A = this chain, B = another copy of it.
């Protein structure tokens, strides 16, 4: 391997442009193994194990040494060593080791997980907040007075210090169908229906569309969950090509397509087609483990190199906050070394692309 490139990849400080908190409270092995499965919303079957996946193998390969264990140590030993520490102690091992200078944290997930302050504290790095539009919608519905006014007010309040917004439209009916901006009367009527229904999860398309267009108007980067997620979403309705009409009217607000598996090539096309569209690799890299290399290679097809971003999308086990970084570095090293070895890229270009994807693009997009 070309050592200047390898050394650079090993050392670059990353911006993790989409991440969640780590667990704050201890749990049993079942919780940990389920935490290694993204798509299933049931407990894993008795015959199965979260360790027998690419992610499980990657945890044992990359995280075991940070707990003083040999690479590829058996699951039982890994689990026993892990349980000797609190989740806070584990976070203090894994987060600093990720080599991340900035964590951009989606604070919209419930549960006993670390928030901005904990993330900054255990890692010693900077943090920024990403605000979920669907959470703002819930707050607006709970507020007094006009829904649209309340939404706009809360959006501006919460994003005064936040770096970006995010939508999980993928989980609320998907991307198919009309995504144009609704008129105020339609928003009023939909808000009244939703308030009357009392506390149901937001799935009204009018209100979802309203939120997206308010976020576009705000101008801060808007992240979309795309592709891989749990089975509550219809994966085929999260093909980012279904966003084409929306993207055509999205103006200059940066739109970040998160995760993207198995639509990373379609997302790369969109990143080439629109000046304001970006391609992120989070979540997919962790779950693909040894195959993260193939995924990273596919993201380096049509997407311009100034339009690709790194994230881990880690949530829960602190291992994942580190592993995203470790797998991305290994994948980039393998893929770019191959490009250089075959004479397609120069080594200085490869090093520059590492910096773009690893940190410079995110610093520009999020104005860090």
Docked complex: A193-246 residues within 8 A CB-CB of B: 228, 230-231, 234-236, 239, 241-242, 244
Q: A38-B272, A49-B306 are known contacts. Are A297 and B297 too (CB-CB below 8 A)?
A: no
- A272 touching B40 by the CB < 8 A rule? yes
A97 at the interface (CB under 8 A from B): no
| Chain A positions 311 through 337: 1 when the CB is less than 8 Å from some CB of chain B, otherwise 0 | 000000000000000000010001000
A45 at the interface (CB under 8 A from B): yes
| Chain A positions 232 through 267: 1 when the CB is less than 8 Å from some CB of chain B, otherwise 0 | 001110010110100010000000000001100110
A152 at the interface (CB under 8 A from B): no
In the docked arrangement, what's the CA distance between A198 and B253, Å?
A: 37
Residues of B within 8 A of A346 (CB): 61, 71-72
Docked complex: A326-368 residues within 8 A CB-CB of B: 330, 334, 339, 342-346, 348-349, 353, 356, 364
Residues of B within 8 A of A159 (CB): none
A274 at the interface (CB under 8 A from B): yes
- A345 touching B57 by the CB < 8 A rule? yes
- B330 touching A269 by the CB < 8 A rule? no
- A45 touching B349 by the CB < 8 A rule? no
Residues of B within 8 A of A7 (CB): none
A187 at the interface (CB under 8 A from B): no
- A266 touching B275 by the CB < 8 A rule? no
Smallest CB separation, A69 vs chain B (Å): 13
Docked complex: A37-66 residues within 8 A CB-CB of B: 37-42, 44-45, 47-49, 52-54, 57-58, 61
- A291 touching B301 by the CB < 8 A rule? yes
Binds B, one of A134-142, A162-170, A282-290: A282-290
Smallest CB separation, A320 vs chain B (Å): 16
User: Which listed residue, B52, B61, B294, touches A343 by the CB 8 Å rule?
Assistant: B61
In the docked arrangement, what's the CA distance between A299 and B235, Å?
A: 17
Q: A57-B349, A275-B42 are known contacts. Are A297 and B300 too (CB-CB below 8 A)?
A: no
- B306 touching A52 by the CB < 8 A rule? yes
- B269 touching A262 by the CB < 8 A rule? yes
A151 at the interface (CB under 8 A from B): no
User: Which listed residue, B241, B262, B307, touches A235 by the CB 8 Å rule?
Assistant: B241
Looking at A40, A47, A269, A353, the one whose CB has the most chain B CB atoms below 10 A away is A269
